Amino acid sequence: FPVTIGQERLINAKVLCIGAGGLGSPTILYLAAAGVGTIGILDFDHVDPTNLQRQVIHTQNDVGKSKTRSAAEKARALNPSITLNLHEVKLDERNALEILSGYDVIVDCTDNFATRYLINDACALLDKPYVWGSIYRFDGQVSTFWSKHGPCYRCLHPSPPPVGAVPSCAEGGVLGSLCGVIGSIQSTEVIKLITGIGEPLIGQLLLHDSLDNSFKNLKIEKRSSCEICNGSQRALLDSYESFCNGNLGNLGIEAAQLQEMMAHNPELFLVDVREPEEFQVGYIDGAILLPVAKFVDGSALKLLPRDKEIVLYCHSGVRSANCLSIIKNAGFSNSTHLLGGILAWNKVLQQHN
């Protein structure tokens, strides 16, 4: 198509980027630079200094600021003529359909399975295409899902992995520059969908290994048994957190519950299962440090009291769920873990300040 037609389509397009972190950083910047007329930015988190090595849309001056506002400021500085919609909320079963319905293309820049399955199902019900990206350590993946024209995310991953089997970027680490590679490919996919040029990655999974700088394309088949693609699932699930967390999701407590427990139970045994360097950056008052490795080799079991209530926590709840499973199996029945980890704890503290 002539350039002017492509530009006109970009100007009239509405794109929602879910997540303003590692993948969202390059995606938002390149969509703004390309001239996408309306960009929605959805994120409920705040800028943390430990994330800046991969979330390059934010700077040290933005620490403590909401990611949506920080990202919007950079996008607006790059292209003042675009419209920016800020959604400072957590995407869930109650708001997903309403929010996503206002956009032409969705970009999944999240790092947790519950939100990924939610986005997939919502886009399928709304007949929206969405570009998905995933990163872990040195590897990245990209695909474009549009259930009426190809397979969906459930065709690739029919069910979520066991709790703790796949750590998030915050838990397992990621090469910062890999975010730039995968995020750039995601923004390219969006531009292709809007302008109609090229072939989007519908029915294809692009794999990237940054260690040998290789790219591979795998074909994804549409599954006849997929509830989304065959139309048997006609509504969102009641709880995607429960769907992805299984029974372990019921064994955790919210941050507000932990506050109440700490206020009424001075004997509460609070355990931080992160690494020493994470503990030094910040911890919940009264917690002792017992890294995950001590649970894996069993040495932590000798240090835990059997006559006190035990609460485990980590960064986002993944490692603590794993450790909880270990001690439950060892007979520590009076134990639980903090859902959302210290991230959730800090959010509650910010709300009260």
Q: Name the residues annotated as catalytic.
A: 169, 314
- Cβ proximity of 128 and 103 under 8 Å: yes
- Cβ proximity of 254 and 344 under 8 Å: yes
Token pair for residue 170?
């915050």
Nearest to 214 by CA among 140, 144, 143: 140
Nearest to 156 by CA among 105, 112, 218: 218
DSSP-derived secondary structure letter, 253: E
Q: How do strand 105-108 and strand 214-219 relate by DSSP bridges?
A: unpaired
- Cβ proximity of 261 and 188 under 8 Å: no
Query: Using alpha carbons only, how large is the chain's radius of gyration in Å?
Result: 21
Q: In degrees to the nearest 10, what's the CA dihedral of 321, 322, 324, 326?
A: 170
- Cβ proximity of 197 and 1 under 8 Å: yes
Nearest to 326 by CA among 348, 342, 310: 310
**CB within 8 Å of 198: residues ≥ 6 apart:** 192
- Cβ proximity of 271 and 292 under 8 Å: no
DSSP secondary structure of 111-172: --HHHHHHHHHHHHHHT--EEEEEEEBTEEEEEEE-TTTS--HHHH-SSPPPTTSS--HHHH
Report the half-sphere exposure of 15 (CA within 13 A, side-chain side).
Answer: 35
